């Protein structure tokens, strides 16, 4: 895998937008921290109670995967919303009606494409996590959850996200609890478009937490 320092500079150069780069780097660092917590949780309490093991599921996420996914999650943001439908169609990406209605969401699919084609990322877990970092989706992996949550914790709207305190509280319970808290919060607040992946992820999260 490409060296971290090189990837950081290549991302900075590619984005050409300081605020977007700063957000991307902050998400990468947070994702790396969450992956490290995931690994340490697994090592420290492998033989402890089931309740103690609820925070993270399998400890299979590497810090390098989390960092790369976090750093590249928003590279599709180089295309403004009004260009995203045409760009996706140019690349042969399948779009849902909800994405055409609200093109902002398309950036996650553009980011996956660029990560693979421009940055030569071939780790399918990383690419999948990039592709659903805004909406999550059903059958999520730990890496999907980590990139999804890191993006919310390091919200690009500033450090005063109205959901942040509650999300961090739920994160002390589990990745799933934090993700469900966030999804419930934004749905209660009202969304312009409720992406099907988001709704499917919500059902899946509830099922995981009830089992």
Distance of CA 88 to the CA centre of its chain: 20
pLDDT level of residue 44 (50, 70, 90 thresholds) = very low
| Whole-number Å distance between alpha carbons of 88 and 210 | 37
Angle, to 10 degrees, between the axis of helix 18-44 and the axis of helix 4-15? 150
If residue 43 lies in a helix (H) or strand (E), which one and from where to where?
A: helix 18-44
For position 67, what pLDDT does the model report?
97
User: Which H/E stretch holds residue 125?
Assistant: helix 124-131
- pTM listed for this prediction: 0.91
The three-class DSSP label of residue 61 is: coil
pLDDT range class, residue 46, cuts 50, 70, 90: very low
* C-beta separation of 38 from 53 below 8 A: no
Distance of alpha carbon 146 from alpha carbon 88, whole angstroms:
25
The total number of structural domains in the chain stands at: 1
Residue 55 has pLDDT above 70, yes or no: no
Q: Which residue range(s) make up the domain with 91? A: 4-210
Q: What is the CATH number of the domain that holds 125?
A: 1.10.3210.10
C-alpha–C-alpha distance, residues 59 and 17, integer Å: 34
Percent of the residues in the chain that have a pLDDT greater than 70, as a whole number: 88
CB 210 within 8 A of CB 174: no
Query: How many CB atoms sit inside 10 A of residue 124's CB?
Result: 9
pLDDT in tens, 93-103: 999 999 999 99
Q: How confident is the model at residue 38 (pLDDT cuts 50, 70, 90)?
A: confident
Interatomic CA distance for residues 155 and 57, integer angstroms: 24
């Amino acid at each position: 895998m490409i060296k971290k320092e090189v990837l950081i500079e290549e991302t900075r150069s590619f984005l050409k937008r300081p605020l977007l780069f700063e957000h991307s780097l902050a998400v990468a660092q947070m994702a790396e921290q969450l992956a490290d917590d995931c690994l340490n949780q697994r090592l420290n309490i492998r033989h402890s109670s089931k309740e103690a093991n609820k925070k993270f599921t399998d400890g299979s996420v590497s810090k390098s995967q989390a960092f790369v996914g976090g750093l590249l999650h928003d590279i599709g943001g180089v295309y403004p919303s009004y260009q995203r439908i045409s760009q996706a169609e140019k690349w042969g990406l399948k779009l849902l009606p909800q994405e055409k209605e609200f093109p902002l969401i398309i950036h996650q699919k553009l980011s996956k494409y660029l990560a693979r084609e421009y940055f030569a990322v071939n780790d399918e877990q990383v690419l999948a996590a990039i592709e659903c970092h805004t909406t999550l989706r059903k059958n999520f992996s730990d890496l999907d959850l980590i990139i999804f949550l890191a993006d919310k914790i390091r919200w690009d709207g500033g450090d005063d996200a109205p959901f942040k305190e509650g999300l961090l509280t739920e994160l002390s319970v589990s990745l799933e609890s934090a993700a469900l808290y966030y999804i419930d919060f934004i749905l209660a607040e009202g969304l312009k478009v409720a992406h099907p992946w988001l709704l499917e992820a919500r059902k899946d999260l509830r099922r995981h937490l009830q089992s």
